[in-house]
Amino acid sequence: MPGSQELTRFIRSAFRSVWSLELLCFLMKHPDRDWAPDEMVAALRASDLIVRESLSSLTAAGLIVVNTSGAARYQPASPSLAALTEAAEQLYARSPDAVRRAIVSAASGDIAAFADAFRLRRD
């Protein structure tokens, strides 16, 4: 079982939004099936854009695979990623607000760093 700091780092780096985590949890519940994007949109009641962006980030994180037709399935690239994913899903089930805060704080940190780059400084 991963430690809490390792798990928090994983959540902040792997999930760009709560939608990405929701999509991954959905795919984890159906590991033996490929899901077409329109099926995921309907099942999650999400937009096509949200599903496409989530698929892209989850693929880049090594958590899912997407076939040539665009259908996706849960398939972590390593056993350690599988363990982190399962721990994140369990934490999200127990304490969804804590996981949401971790995801949002990572995203807001990126925005703050971007905004700071344009801050005028007085020397």
Query: Domain spans of the chain?
Result: 4-116
Task: Give this prediction's pTM.
Answer: 0.81
What phi and psi values does residue 17 have, to the nearest 5 degrees? -155, 165
Question: Domain 4-116, what fold?
Answer: Arc Repressor Mutant, subunit A (1.10.10)
Report pLDDT for 111. Answer: 46
Report residues of the chain scoring pLDDT below 50. Answer: 109-115
- Tracing tokens 């999200």 back to the chain, one arrives at 92
